[in-house]
Amino acid sequence: MYQRDVHVIPIEILRDEFVNIIFDIGLEYYFGYDTLITAVEIGDKYVNFDHQYYSDELAHAVIVIASKANEDDHYTSLNAKIDTNNGYVISLEWKVCEILGFHIKNNNFITFICKFLNPLTKPTLGSVFWDLSKDICMNPKLLSMDPLVILTVCILLNKIGKLRAIQNNKKRVFSTIMDQISFEYDININDLLKKYIEIKQIINI
């Protein structure tokens, strides 16, 4: 069926929501954490240029750009157009590229860690780094810091049990597992959580 190519001026959203959209897309498409950080950095550069603003369309446009530069199977402009139901996202992608001078730099905290662990290959990082990357991206000042400083702080916080990303990761993984069980076995999520709590209480007795 023919679908009209709708072009609507994007609605402004908060930066936190912008970051959430990027990381949700990255989680769905299994993109590298460095790609997601790069997408956020691209968005920040665009917004800081000539007083632009964050939007759902911008989040989709920058993940298109970042994944094209860093992923074998990238998120396409057509995906972005369909997911936002707004053909303007394609024009926005072009505008962002123009501002960047068509030069995409993928060099951030995650790429630093990968080089630190093994400079010859790209090591596989655990899912906790998704949460850690997101925490870093949520804070523009933290995102702009030297990767070595960030890594040092993370190590110190982890040693004293204060690294928030680890707890966030445990909660996210637990929630994902519960949702999967609820869906696959057609069990109400509240009943499933109630049963889980009951079993935990029995084990702890």
pLDDT, tens digit (0-9, with 9 covering 90-100), for 155-178: 888 888 877 777 877 887 888 888
Confidence of residue 205 (pLDDT cuts 50, 70, 90): low
Angstrom distance (rounded) from CA 56 to CA 36:
15
Segments making up each domain of the chain, as ranges: 15-159, 164-204
3-state helix, strand, coil in the chain (%, to 5): 70, 0, 30
Say if CB 67 and CB 31 are below 8 A apart. Answer: yes
pLDDT value at residue 123: 55
pLDDT at 54: 97
According to the model, what pLDDT value does residue 1 have?
Answer: 40
Q: Classify residue 89 as left (phi > 0), alpha (psi -120 to 50) or beta.
A: alpha
Confidence of residue 125 (pLDDT cuts 50, 70, 90): low
Percent of the chain with pLDDT over 70: 92
CATH class of the region 15-159: mainly alpha
Q: Is the dihedral of CA 156, 162, 164, 165 positive or negative?
A: positive
pLDDT exceeds cutoff 90 at 72: no
